[in-house]
């Protein structure tokens, strides 16, 4: 009987531990207390709600102390909690699942050790073991945090070991060209486009997926970079001033691309000025013979007082630039534009399967650096034509008779407007599915209200995910007197796809704008 109860408890604990580790990983293992802030924001979900049953059990064991009742109640409560956790886990759509890395395995070992120590002392001090098990399960999110703190010296040693290995490998590759890419958004798209274009002439390698932290770069160098590679493209992410500089000190890029500077992660950076300074750490870390690719249509780049002298290649659409796109045409099959290179009287026609102005900027940056690397125009034209759409970044998909413009990776004020511009160019009925924009700090409501106003100008039907989350968008729609009959508010994005089938017309285009990170769900 007791073994069965422990098994039921372990099944429930499995889901609770998995969720706590997932959120730790998503919150960079509590860097800058991000995990602790997440707990505070979601306290009612993870510590109250159904978990109140455990508090009742703890109270019962402390004050009732009738062993037969304790066993029955223990079994019932943890069976119910297990069934609930299983149901949530089975239904939950995870954007970025838990990756069982070596660090996660070390945390699991430490968590297990903490549990064993607590259980051992419960026997030594003659404390009811079921009380201890209930307390441990209830406070699992904090035990996971404790394990992070306990493991800190170990993780520092592991990090330094692998960092030395990465530096040794980089120092042995004297002819390796290192390119850094950063910006508020567009980093991953820009990185992938550049990688495909440079591979026309070079053996180019890039950080996989969104491995853009010191750990991510070190993993890429140690596990993927080899002696046959000519170019290493390092995506660089940051949430505060100094983090880009740390990455540059690690890989020492000679070339740098700055995408667009926006308001993404404003809540974490603290101000627009901090974001600007943080992103320019890449350009100001380049050597004197380095090359920077900057955007002449971005006021925060044009007006920045650069503190080092590097060669700057300007790209643009609206303003004067070294590499400028004109005569842009976007359709449901892709984009065409003319390339004008400063000092060259010719215009060069480019075609791409990618959609939107955001991708034209990314392509221009790749063309500028490719041209600097000695790739000729014919090769560049061919490479751009063959670039594949990037997953979840204005990616056009067809499902039956419905076209989906998948821009679900993330969203920001500039990117969301560009995505709506793409949708507006499409023929037929236009539908948007969105939970709105996040991590914009004090300006989040204002920007989502503007987003709602922009939606009203373009979309025939609006599907919002989360009533509370989308209040500001609803306000924007109301400001434009948008017909409420065409606004649908759902709590789960999965339900949107059944609704779309009911709303579709002869030709239907659906913009999937943003998908909330798991920490916000």
Local confidence pLDDT in tens for the 521 residues of the chain: 788 999 999 999 999 999 999 999 988 899 888 899 899 988 988 898 888 999 999 988 888 766 778 888 999 999 999 999 988 887 776 767 898 999 999 999 999 999 999 999 999 999 989 999 999 999 999 999 999 999 999 999 999 999 999 999 999 999 999 999 999 888 889 999 999 999 999 999 999 877 889 989 999 999 999 999 999 999 998 878 899 999 999 999 999 999 988 766 666 666 878 889 999 999 999 999 999 999 999 999 999 999 898 999 999 999 999 999 999 988 778 899 999 999 999 999 999 999 888 899 999 999 999 999 999 999 999 999 999 887 777 888 888 889 999 888 777 888 888 899 889 988 889 999 999 988 777 788 999 999 999 999 999 999 999 998 899 999 999 999 999 999 999 988 888 999 999 998 888 999 999 875 544 44
Q: Which of 474, 442, 462, 460 is nearest to 513 (CA)?
A: 462
pTM of the model: 0.82
Residues 6+ apart with CB under 8 A from 164: none
Q: What phi, psi does 408 have (nearest 5°)?
A: -85, -5
Residues 6+ apart with CB under 8 A from 290: 253, 254, 255, 256, 310, 311
Do residues 255 and 291 touch, judged by C-beta distance below 8 A?
Answer: yes
Do residues 132 and 123 touch, judged by C-beta distance below 8 A?
Answer: no
Estimate the crossing angle of helix 243-251 against helix 214-223, to 10 degrees.
20
- The label of the residue with tokens 């630039």 reads 321
Q: Write down the pLDDT at residue 265.
A: 62
The CB density around residue 374, as the number of other CB atoms within 10 Å, is 9
- The label of the residue with tokens 């998948």 reads 406
Beta strand 311-316 with 291-295 is: parallel
> What sign results for the dihedral spanned by CA atoms 442, 300, 234, 320?
positive
Do residues 481 and 501 touch, judged by C-beta distance below 8 A?
Answer: no
- The label of the residue with tokens 């400001």 reads 479
Q: Write down the pLDDT at residue 23.
A: 94
Which domains are present in the chain?
2-154 (no CATH), 174-386 (3.40.1190.10), 395-520 (3.90.190.20)
Residue 392: burial class (beta carbons within 10 Å; 0-12, 13-18, 19+): middle
Q: Write down the pLDDT at residue 87.
A: 87
The CB density around residue 502, as the number of other CB atoms within 10 Å, is 8
């Amino acid at each position: 009987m007791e073994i069965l109860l422990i098994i039921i408890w372990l099944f429930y604990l499995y889901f609770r531990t998995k969720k706590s580790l997932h959120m730790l990983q998503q919150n960079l293992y509590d860097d800058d207390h991000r995990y602790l802030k997440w707990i505070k924001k979601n306290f009612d979900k993870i510590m109250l709600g159904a978990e109140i049953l455990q508090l009742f059990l703890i109270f019962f064991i402390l004050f009732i102390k009738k062993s037969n009742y304790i066993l029955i109640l223990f079994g019932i409560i943890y069976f119910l909690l297990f069934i609930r956790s299983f149901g949530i886990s089975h239904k939950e759509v995870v954007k970025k699942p838990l990756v069982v890395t070596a660090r996660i395995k070390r945390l699991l070992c430490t968590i297990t050790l903490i549990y064993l120590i607590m259980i051992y002392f419960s026997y030594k001090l003659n404390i009811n073991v079921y009380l201890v098990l209930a307390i441990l399960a209830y406070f699992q999110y904090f035990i996971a945090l404790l394990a992070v703190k306990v493991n800190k010296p170990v993780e520092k040693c592991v990090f330094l070991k692998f960092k030395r290995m990465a530096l040794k490998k980089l120092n042995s590759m004297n002819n390796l060209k290192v390119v850094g890419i950063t910006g508020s958004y567009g980093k991953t798209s820009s990185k992938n486009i550049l990688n495909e274009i440079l591979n026309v002439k070079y053996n180019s390698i890039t950080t996989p997926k969104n491995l853009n932290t010191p750990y991510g770069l070190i993993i890429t160098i140690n596990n993927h970079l080899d002696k046959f590679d000519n170019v290493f493209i390092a995506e660089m992410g940051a949430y505060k001033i100094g983090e880009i500089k740390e990455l540059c000190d690690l890989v020492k890029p000679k070339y740098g691309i700055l995408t667009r500077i926006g308001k993404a992660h404003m809540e974490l950076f603290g101000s627009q000025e901090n974001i600007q300074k943080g992103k320019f750490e890449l350009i100001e870390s380049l050597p004197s013979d380095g090359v920077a690719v900057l955007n002449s249509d971005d006021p925060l780049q044009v007006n920045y007082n650069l503190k080092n002298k590097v060669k700057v290649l300007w790209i643009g659409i609206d303003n004067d630039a070294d590499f400028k796109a004109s005569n842009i045409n976007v359709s449901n099959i892709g984009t065409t534009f003319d390339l004008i290179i400063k000092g060259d009287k010719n215009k060069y026609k480019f075609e791409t399967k990618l959609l939107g102005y955001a991708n034209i900027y990314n392509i221009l940056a790749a063309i500028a650096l490719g041209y600097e690397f000695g790739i000729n125009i014919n090769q560049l034209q061919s490479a751009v034509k063959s670039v594949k759409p990037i997953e979840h970044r204005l990616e056009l998909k067809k499902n039956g008779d419905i076209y989906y413009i998948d821009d679900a990776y993330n969203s920001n004020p500039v990117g969301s407007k560009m995505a709506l511009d793409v949708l507006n160019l499409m023929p037929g009925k236009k539908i948007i599915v969105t939970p709105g924009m996040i991590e914009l700090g004090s300006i989040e409501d204002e920007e989502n209200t503007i987003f709602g106003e922009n939606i009203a100008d373009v979309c025939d039907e609006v599907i919002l995910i989360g009533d509370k989350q989308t209040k500001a968008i609803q306000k924007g729609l109301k400001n434009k007197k948008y017909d409420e009959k065409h606004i649908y508010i759902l709590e789960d994005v999965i339900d949107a796809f059944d609704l779309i089938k009911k709303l579709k017309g002869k030709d239907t285009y659906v913009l999937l704008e943003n998908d909330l990170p798991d920490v916000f769900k």
